[in-house]
Chains A and B, each alone.
Chain A
Amino acid sequence: MNSQLLIGYTVRDTFLNRLSGSTKLIGFVALSIIGMVTYDTRFLLGVLLISLILFHFSKIKYHEVAFVLQVIVAFAILNLVMVYVFAPSYGITIYGTHHMILGSPDHYFNLSWEQLFYEFNLLLKYIFAVPLALIFLMTTNPSEFAASLNKIGVSYRISYSVAIALRYIPDVQNDYRTISLAQQARGYEISRKAKLMTRARGAVQIIMPLILSSLDRIEIISQAMELRRFGHNKKRTWYMAQPFKRNDYLALIIIVLIVLVGIALFKVNGGRFWNPFK
């Protein structure tokens, strides 16, 4: 089960794999920011459609991401229900009209097309970036990712921190599993069957060795890096860095166009919301 929790990079022969990491990073960040701000249904649907088409071309198999997708959908639904419980007439406030399905706007719990439409927009916002994120995660080599961060202007020390994090996540995870099994063999119960306090105590017994060994690891790695003169120069080069090719420029132009459409829609709609009820 644990292996399904993490999704990772594998070599696939698609044009998405050949794009440079910087292009994919810029694309993901730009689209996720514009999608975060906008509430234009047409725009969100358009981006979702484009990202689903890209997902199809990326040759990622459904079963590789099935578990992650189920978790995402479950959380999205939980959130939508919660939004409804806490603000059942929020849609009416936003769109300024009320087309009722059930009840009247005077009651706390009512159901209006405006509310449904608002929550549909929320759902789109929760999920529109998911295919993009999966493509980004599964077609970008982690080592190249650090190089791309540095290329788009993040300082190389911070990029290197990200590289270290990506490099050591599997190690820390292995440590965690080993320690957890060892402590369970000694009788600490951490499964769902145990009571909350027992579980918490079990968790402390696991994280103590994990954290102390990680602190040791910090010392060892920083000494090794110091011996290799890390941080001596103002710049560094990256073995995994990829130069921009024709396709990268094409992709960047398309991304800029999509973002411009998103910004233009703010002007057209006179705000962040597209209002079909007017």
Chain B
Amino acid sequence: MNNKNQSSNSIRTVVATGIGAAVIFVLMKFVAIPMGIPNTQFNVAEGFLALLAALYGPVAGGLAVFIGHSLNDFVTYGSPWWTWVITDGLVGVALGLIKNRLNVTGGAVKTMKLVWFNLYQIVVNFVAWVLIAPTGDVLVYHEPAAKVYLQGVTSWIVNSVSVAIIGTILIVLYSRTRAQHGSLKKEK
């Protein structure tokens, strides 16, 4: 029984990765609002990523955004900007790690948990976009530090805001549609 559950979970991960990547691709392509600094935009996709990762875990979250982001780079810029694609993948993994803690499928998520989730995602985005991504650009692409760090800080802010607003809304709305854990009582 346990074994069977595991195999159906792994299929769900495969499918969630694929469909998630398709949705992230479409959101990045059509529902992104440019921020004025080249290559940084307000991405609704990051908010969706938060829900996807919270539902299906780190593997699906990380791979879905990795695939979706690189496909989007492919058709928009001609070739993927690898440092940022990999960083985005790491964000997906980090957001997926709190799947059990957040427990979206177990009914409405409490306010305290949402506050905690938002603090966590701001830290994750800070590490990813202000520390990892620009440093990768300087090392791999040898771009001037001032430029990439500005892009990094902008991305950190817009991505955190996207997760904080859209991600939180999605998580709240989705978890409300799930039955609260232990909400059924046996009649006496």
Contact = CB atoms under 8 A, between A and B. Distances in A.
Contacts of A133: 74, 78-79
Contacts of B174: 212, 215
A222 B173 contact: no
A36 B29 contact: no
B74 A164 contact: no
A109 B151 CA distance: 21
Report whether over half of chain B's contact residues are helix, strand or loop; otherwise say mixed: helix
Interface in B141-155: 141-147, 150
Interface residues of A, number: 70
Interface stretch (B3-11, B107-115, B119-127): B3-11
A130 B22 CA distance: 22
B71 interface: yes
B19 A164 contact: yes
Given A86-B150, A137-B75, A211-B51, A37 B7 contact: no
B143 A122 contact: yes
Interface residues of B, number: 57
Interface in A121-175: 122, 125-127, 129-130, 132-134, 137, 157-158, 160-169, 171-173
A132 B8 CA distance: 39
Contacts of A221: 15, 19
A72 B78 CA distance: 7
B30 A176 contact: yes
A192 to B, nearest CB: 10
Nearest to A207: B44
A176 B32 CA distance: 14
A7 B74 CA distance: 10
A82 interface: yes
Given A71-B76, A133-B79, A211-B51, A165 B71 contact: yes
Contact of A231 (B14, B33, B140, B147): B14
Given A204-B166, A272-B142, 13 more contacts: A71-B77, A72-B78, A87-B146, A94-B142, A161-B15, A161-B64, A165-B22, A165-B71, A207-B48, A207-B166, A210-B26, A218-B16, A226-B8
Interface of B: 7-8, 10-23, 25-27, 29-31, 33, 37-39, 44, 48, 51, 55, 63-64, 67-68, 71, 74-80, 82, 140-147, 150, 166, 169-170, 173-174
